[in-house]
Structure formats: C-alpha cells, structure tokens
Amino acid sequence: MNTQLKIRLRNWLKLAGCVALGFPVLIYLFQERLIFFPQPLTEDPLKANTGAAIEDVSLVTADQVTLRGWLVQAAQTQTPAPILIYFGGNAEEVSWLASTGGRYAGWSLLLVNYRGYGGSEGKPGEAELFADAVHIYDYAASRARGGRVALMGRSLGSGVAVYLAAQRPVAGVILVSPYDSIESVARGIYPYLPIGLMLKHRFDSMSRAPGIKAPLLCLVASDDRVIPRPHSERLYAAWGGTKQWREIGPADHDSLAGEPEHWGAIASFLAHLADKHV
C-alpha cells in the first residue's frame, strides 16, 4: 500500500470514528428537541367555546413554575362531577379538546399544558412532567365529586398517565397509542446505537404497568407507524388490572382521534366506570 493511500485510509477512519462517536453525543445533548415539541396556544378556549362551562386553571408547582389549562365541566350538571385528566402527545397543545366536553359520559375534563406548551411556563422533561402530573392530580381530586379521578394519556402522554396511575388512586386509565418505554421505541429507530447509555428521558411504563390495578382501555390505530403495535401490545400484556384492547381502523397515529369509534370507546369506558361507582 503506497503512502498516499495509507493517508487517505487513515483520514477516512478518523472521519468514521468522529461520526460514530459524534452522532450519539449529539443525540444525548439534544434529545429534548427529539422528544418534546412545545406548541404555542392557538386559540383561547373560552373565546372559541362561548357559552360552554369552561374555566381557566392556573397551577403553581413546587419549583414556582406556572402551568395553565382549563377545566371543562360536564354538561348539564349542577354538582361537581368526576374528572378525567388528559395528557397529550409530544407536539400537542391540549386546548383543542375543550370543544369535546360533551363526549365523556358525564365526566368533567381537565386539560393542562405541559411546561413550555401553550401558556405554561418552564421547559419539559421526564422528571418535571411526572412531578407536575401528581400536582395536577391533587388539584383534580380536590375538585372532583368524591375525589374520583380517571386518566387519559395519548402517545407521549401515555407514559405520564401510567406514572401517575402508579402514584395515586385512579378510577380508570385510557391509553391512546401507548408504548412500553421510550427506550424501547428508540432502540427500534436506532438499533446500532447505545440507547441505554444515551437516554435521559426513558418514560418506562413497562416497569410500572404490572403494579397498576386500575381498569385500562387501550386504543390503538391499525396503521400506527410512529409507535409500532408491538410496543403497545407489550404494555397491554403487562397491565396489572382488568383491561380492554380496541384497535381502530382505518387510522394512523395522527388520525385516530378523528374516528367515531375512538370517541365511542372512550364514552363507553367512562360510563362503565361511573356505573361501577353508583
């Protein structure tokens, strides 16, 4: 091998080494930008839903961050109703759900944006979202009839809902497009990277699911390519309480909420929870 060829080969090996080391480092340093996509508030729900029983909610966390959202009261009720808390996806500003208040079988709906989303202050992270979820639950329990609270988490929010269900008593849990863990999903996308060493925000629902005894409704899209079906199936199999699996099609990760069957399943599940409590 001549000298010039050796130099070229050495330079290529150096470049390959830099890429091999640099890419994981970049993912580690910028993973918040890969997991969380904060969205601005698009429209004030009180102005967009005039006449609806919606009230602003402002909660101050232990580290003095203000979270903002809305309590959508159950229709035609003069007394406090049980409350469903919703946790959204990684690019979801949750105010759009304020217009769906009549779809929850007599349950009120509590919507609070994650840190950095909508009008909420701060920056999102796994530990912060988990601590905020407990704070939101305690507020909801103080407002709900008999302290009765259920949870609904979509996509990224399924991990928040699972964590909360492991920390506080809940009447039931609805998981939409859930995953076993962010680490497991990331391994499927980057099979040749040391994901276990790189990931700071693991959202490990799989380890918590067996200890949760609350009833579960699991809703999945027939053509979900963001969170492939095996991730949802593993979490569902590990769940410690009674459970229902509903696969809805034709739908993908983003169109699932547009299917009438999605809303019908949620209303039926919540009505059943209400009947059990009577």
- One-letter amino acid identity for 25? V
Determine the pLDDT at residue 18: 38
Residues in the chain with pLDDT values less than 50: 13-23
The arrangement of secondary structure in 39-277, i.e. its CATH architecture, is 3-Layer(aba) Sandwich (3.40)
Between CA 30 and CA 7 the distance in angstroms is 34
Instruction: Note the Cα 200 to chain centre separation in Å.
Output: 17
Which of 137, 123, 149 shows the shortest CA–CA distance to 35? 123
Between CA 55 and CA 45 the distance in angstroms is 9
Which of 172, 61, 184, 197 shows the shortest CA–CA distance to 125? 61
Q: CB–CB of 190/182 below 8 Å?
A: no
Counting other chains too, the contacts that 184-192 makes at CB distance below 8 Å and 24 or more residues apart are: 184/231, 184/234, 185/227, 185/228, 185/231, 188/228, 188/231, 190/27
Which of 171, 186, 70 shows the shortest CA–CA distance to 120? 70
Between CA 140 and CA 66 the distance in angstroms is 16
Between CA 161 and CA 85 the distance in angstroms is 9
Tens digits of per-residue pLDDT, 132-173? 999 999 999 999 999 999 999 999 999 999 999 999 999 999
Q: Where are the domains of the chain?
A: 1-35, 39-277
Between CA 157 and CA 123 the distance in angstroms is 16
